[in-house]
Amino acid sequence: MKRKNKQDINTRSLLIVVALILVNFISYHYFFRIDLTADQRYSLSKATKNILKDLDQTITITAYFTEDMPPRLLKLKNEFKDLLVEYNSASDGNVLYEFVNPNEDQEKERQAMQSGVRPAIINAREKDQVTQKKVYLGAVIRMGEEKDIIPLIQKESTMEYDLSSSIKKLSVKDKPQVGYLQGHGEPPPGAIQQVQQQLNILYDVVPVDLSESNVKLKELKTIAIVAPSDTIPEDHFRLLDFYLAQGGNLFIALNRVEGNMNNATGSGLYTGLSDWLGKKGIQVEERFVVDASCGNVSVRQQQMGFTMTSAMPFPYLPIITNFADHPITKNLESVLLPFASPVNFTGDTSIAFTPIAKSSKKSGLQQPPVYFDVDKRWTDEDFNAPEQTVAAVAEGLLAGDVPSSIVIIGNGSFPVSGEGQQAQQLQPDNVSLMVNSIDWLTDETGLIDLRTKEVTSRPLDQISDSKKAFLRWLNFLLPIIIIILYGIFNYQRRRTIRKKRMEEGYV
């Protein structure tokens, strides 16, 4: 009997050794992990995997991160490192990376600065004193002789988009073309410089004049029509219909009304584009949207012999914060739409119409012509048309038998920053609204989902007291319960073995 027990022990030991070798072999060649987070924050998106799969050259990422940082920034570094591990694994080793601490010596700091990574100045607490500290949180992505820079990594939610778009920018051979319509009083490309800088990462933005005989619309993934001010000829609309019939997409930011602050008047604006859209059931009305949530205008006032400039709310400059859960508008906080018009739908079921941005619950409509009285006392009666749609998406059979898409914004001025000395800095969400729209219409890899990806935070201070108590007791009791259950199971198993040994004929 002792010999048999010894043989059983040897057999079990051998099986355990074989199992450990097998597990190590499988884990070495087949790496995987399970992401149980609700927002899948630790999983690479399908878009990223497709980009990495198509790599035919090695990508080298040099991450410049300061070692000694506050916990919140150190967490950012660890998240970025984990992400790079995933990129390396998903690319079959085509993405290589290294971490460099620029604060270590002057040579490494000079290298970071020359690469385009700039330090950020933060407040840090050391020995009960608040001091300013220079930290680096950037990366340089290289492929051959080409390079791209992420000068400052600030949020977990944008890491994957920044990395994937940089890699795609370096690896793509032929960028998709996006047309920018000209010839009808539209602002020149230089007047949307902030938008163009963002678009140039993934696309070639080319001016398009429909009056030219050699225009090649088939080569364009999307055509952007921004703030035309002159009447558009009918033959140009026929070309746009032909383009849609081939599966093309349009981004349209249309001024249906305009305001002149020099003479304080507002009037309608006709280009023919609203009539063309109306035939497809898309109505951009010739009316002003006024909103209690609005921007300010500077007004000079005489008080006690002094001239003073004060900021006055101006409801004709709606600040839009009511966005749909759509890839274009996801994570947008506020967009300024000066002199916006409502967008409505009267078409049939062959077209899916989705509002993506609306005015606030305290908004109204004004019919032009209007006189802008900055001293007017606005009342609830002026805001009697709540939640007006100011941006929408139309998808379906817009022209012909091939599905296509149009993004319509009831204002054409929101992405225009101007040129030269007249140029103004746009707020980021104004730029993002147009860039997100072009991404959604044009990019087939799904990078739009990364641009708008968010990391859901669930801090304990937002959990109810009862749930806190439940989690606390569960945390305390669960290990004890597991140990007790294991003890009961082990006791029963040993008892069963003892009973078998006492039976007659047991060897």
SS3 string, 167-192, reads HHHHHCCCCCEEEEEECCCCCCHHHH
- Bridge partners of 406, per DSSP, are 250, 394
Rounded CA gap, 318 and 414, in Å?
A: 11
Determine which helix (DSSP H) or strand (DSSP E) holds 195, and give its type and residue range.
helix 193-199
Q: What is the predicted pLDDT for the residue at 322? A: 95
Q: Does domain 177-289+317-451 have CATH number 2.60.40?
A: no
Domain positions in the chain: 1-30, 46-171, 177-289+317-451, 463-507
Amino acid identity for residue 376 in this structure? K
3-state secondary structure of 25: helix
3-state secondary structure of 325: coil
* pTM for the structure as a whole: 0.73
Burial class (CB in 10 A: 0-12, 13-18, 19+), 493: exposed
Rounded CA gap, 498 and 507, in Å?
A: 13
Q: What is the predicted pLDDT for the residue at 504? A: 63
- Over the chain (507 residues), the average pLDDT of each successive run of 10 is 55 72 64 51 75 87 88 86 90 90 88 87 70 85 89 81 85 87 94 91 91 87 96 96 95 95 92 95 96 87 64 92 92 93 92 96 95 89 95 94 95 91 86 93 73 50 65 80 85 79 63
Burial class (CB in 10 A: 0-12, 13-18, 19+), 255: buried
- CA torsion, ordered 417, 419, 425, 427, to nearest 10 deg: 10
How many other β-carbons are positioned within 10 Å of the β-carbon of residue 126?
A: 9
> Starting from the edge strand earliest in sequence, which strands make up the sheet with 351-358, in order?
204-209, 177-182, 220-226, 249-253, 404-409, 389-396, 351-358, 322-323
Q: What is the predicted pLDDT for the residue at 127? A: 61
486: Cα within 13 Å, side-chain hemisphere: 6
Q: What is the predicted pLDDT for the residue at 33? A: 54
Written as six digits, the tokens of 108 are 């490494």
Q: What is the predicted pLDDT for the residue at 318? A: 96
The pairing of strands 137-143 and 59-65 is antiparallel
How would DSSP label each residue in 382-426?
A: G--S-S-EEEEEEEE-SSTTS-EEEEEES-SSTT---SGGG--PP
Q: What is the predicted pLDDT for the residue at 72? A: 81
How would DSSP label each residue in 429-444?
A: HHHHHHHHHHHHHH-S
Q: What are phi and psi of 292, to 5 degrees?
A: -65, -25
DSSP 459: -
One of 3.20.20.150, 3.40.50.620, 3.40.30.10, 2.30.110.10 is the CATH number of 46-171, namely: 3.40.30.10
